[in-house]
Structure 1
């Protein structure tokens, strides 16, 4: 496809295409299996000399990542729209959201899609075409990289992710076009259980701890906030203090949860903050087992946090009528 130079403006803004959760690894032909990163989803708009970085909830993050802005500005096309994730890697080359949130380490933009280039709208092109254009336009550097392909086979890709300690795998149909919603054409398989939850309150501190004891967590089921448990580990003193200050303006008398959560000394909050939490499994009644606080997600709105419905044995026919594996 020829990329022709046009005016330095992109005539639209997009919402990101989102992957659907699959509860087990699989292989399908004509799919690509990429590393799942633990960072902040960013749409990058280059329009002439101007670069804008927008999060998935449309927050402008341009001033937060000047080095990445500079790297994108140096790319060849006059107009360019990229989709990817800003990350910080640890010494084992594993992306860590906590490091990104705390500003510890250099940031990189792991790019996995190209939606517009030099006046050409690529959203209706197949992913295989968009990926080739992306690899041609984005050369790896200290600040930019094209998302890593783990293996040609989906089952092997999952084993690579598990062995290296990655968050998981994102599998994508190479024939898929870009849609601005969650789609079964992109699937994510997590190695470790780590999700986002709405903070609806906190418990009183006990012993030597100050500020608060544990966060009360929930997910939105329709318009109702359903309680899923509490998390009391993963905090250092600085995080406890910082969160408690943020919570002050949100304190309310009544519970935001749809049912009684059984916490007599809880302080309730208006449900605006979203926490990222790791855990080992869910109990039969849907509560979290061994949860650990990872960080605060300011790139996601509370209403976006809904139950994670995986595609597995019971509903994998929603994808191709035969099941995930083929």
Structure 2
């Protein structure tokens, strides 16, 4: 018998209570004294209970293939706690990003290939199998180890596991920069585009970058990516060099949703906040409860919203367990009625993230040699995208169409989506089945462009598994 990752098994030993055996990322542990009192690293330990469960042959193979538990440091850099990598600031929501390079913000694990091995930002080693790194160049690459949208937890679990190399087959190394290649960003991307075919690696790809045509273009692309399940966007300043620090030449753009929730309890503050509220416990319309500690000002901690009152929080997305990811306190219910019923659906996405530390309102001008030319505008560097856009399966549509209704039901997902076009307007409505959902209309200068948008949205939804159904009465 063997255990799945995260699974626990109880086995009766000589004592009254059974011992618990657990598998975490290929590392097996047991609560028996024989396992707990060993001096070896945890991934190199075993005991008679684990051997009885898995068999001697499986245990010997696991112990032989597990790498050292303590991560290695690159040669000559002992004691370094964090690698000096290029990192960005959140966009302030106002700066004009026309002409900047735009790409999807990947929800994977940041990984630095130093020419020999993968390292984390904290300078720890990821134990990638030889077949995964085969063909990668001897020079550094900056990117992410990625599984799929909304699968950050799985990607993180795989790269931190030991003794389970087969799990790396689910990963790809998506590359967005060549730190030691000379020149501005455009030259570094051309270098990667020319070099990537020579690596002959099925586990690597380059991240696609396109020129941002305007802030409206940015908003449309952010809508498209988040609707597909993506985390957000990254914007790179044209002509910028690779700085091994946090820089205003790279900006993160995310979208927040907001929700009204009920305050159920308080959590006491610690440190500077000792003696006042540290966080609020809130209940969602689903009945789930979570903690909100970010966004509270000193006055809110001294005089928190009353238990039972309704407040607004903003958040990035909901987890698979139905909880809020990165919830931030916004304020009390704006209509002044704390006891009115809470809506059972999410409100329309309202704002782009502006978190701390926020990007300065004015970005310092780079050295003269870094300034991009006004004309001509840089051309897109088109390389492999993480997830290709589905090809439309339906035929052409009329300029004025009836409402087409689709549903997606899979596990905990229970969603609907509908679309219609009226002249140069394309309207979509989406949400949880049984609710009114959210509605959005886009207007276009002519019917041909409206038709193109209609077909694109239809293809994206059908490509994600939405099935057309009769529209409910």
Q: What TM-score comes out, normalization by structure 2 length?
A: 0.37
**Among 187, 193, 207, the residue aligned to 1:147:** 207
The 1:10/1:284 distance shift into structure 2, 3 A limit, reads same
The 1:177/1:281 distance shift into structure 2, 3 A limit, reads same
Aligned position for 1:308: 356
Contact (CA 8 Å) 1:88, 1:99: kept in 2 or not? yes
Aligned position for 1:43: 112
Q: Kindly indicate whether residue 146 of structure 2 is the aligned counterpart of residue 87 of structure 1.
A: yes
Shift of 1:30: 4.1
Q: Deviations over 1:65-116 (max 9, x none)?
A: 32xx5344313x4x21000111110xxxx25312323548811111100123
**Among 308, 317, 322, the residue aligned to 2:362:** 317
The 1:144/1:161 distance shift into structure 2, 3 A limit, reads farther
What pairs with 1:20-169 in structure 2 (closer than 5 Å)?
20-24=89-93, 27-46=96-115, 51-61=116-126, 63=127, 65-66=128-129, 70-75=131-136, 77=137, 79-89=138-148, 94-103=149-158, 106-116=170-180, 122=181, 124-139=182-197, 142-149=202-209, 152-153=212-213, 155=215, 156-165=217-226, 166-169=230-233
Shift of 1:174: 2.4
Give the paired residue count: 216
**Among 228, 233, 240, the residue aligned to 1:176:** 240
**Counterparts of 2:244 and 2:324 in 1: how far apart (Å)?**
26
Shift of 1:233: 9.2
Aligned position for 1:283: 330
**Counterparts of 1:158 and 1:39 in 2: how far apart (Å)?**
22
Shift of 1:52: 0.8
**Counterparts of 1:189 and 1:27 in 2: how far apart (Å)?**
13
The 1:164/1:318 distance shift into structure 2, 3 A limit, reads closer
What pairs with 1:291-302 in structure 2 (closer than 5 Å)?
none
Long gaps (5+) in structure 2: 1-73, 159-166, 258-264, 285-297, 303-322, 333-354, 367-373, 375-473
Aligned position for 1:241: none
- The structure carrying a bigger strand percent of its residues is 1
Q: What TM-score comes out, normalization by structure 1 length?
A: 0.52
**Among 17, 21, 25, the residue aligned to 2:86:** 17
**Counterparts of 1:167 and 1:217 in 2: how far apart (Å)?**
31
Contact (CA 8 Å) 2:99, 2:214: kept in 1 or not? no
**Counterparts of 1:217 and 1:70 in 2: how far apart (Å)?**
49
**Counterparts of 1:181 and 1:52 in 2: how far apart (Å)?**
21
Aligned position for 2:254: 190
Q: Deviations over 1:146-171 (max 9, x none)?
A: 11225542532442232232211111
The 1:152/1:56 distance shift into structure 2, 3 A limit, reads same
The 1:153/1:44 distance shift into structure 2, 3 A limit, reads same
Shift of 1:310: 2.1
**Counterparts of 1:159 and 1:86 in 2: how far apart (Å)?**
26
Aligned Cα RMSD in Å?
4.7
Contact (CA 8 Å) 2:99, 2:212: kept in 1 or not? no
- Structure with the greater alpha carbon radius of gyration: 2
**Counterparts of 2:266 and 2:157 in 1: how far apart (Å)?**
21
Secondary structure (helix, strand or coil) at the match of 1:138 reads helix
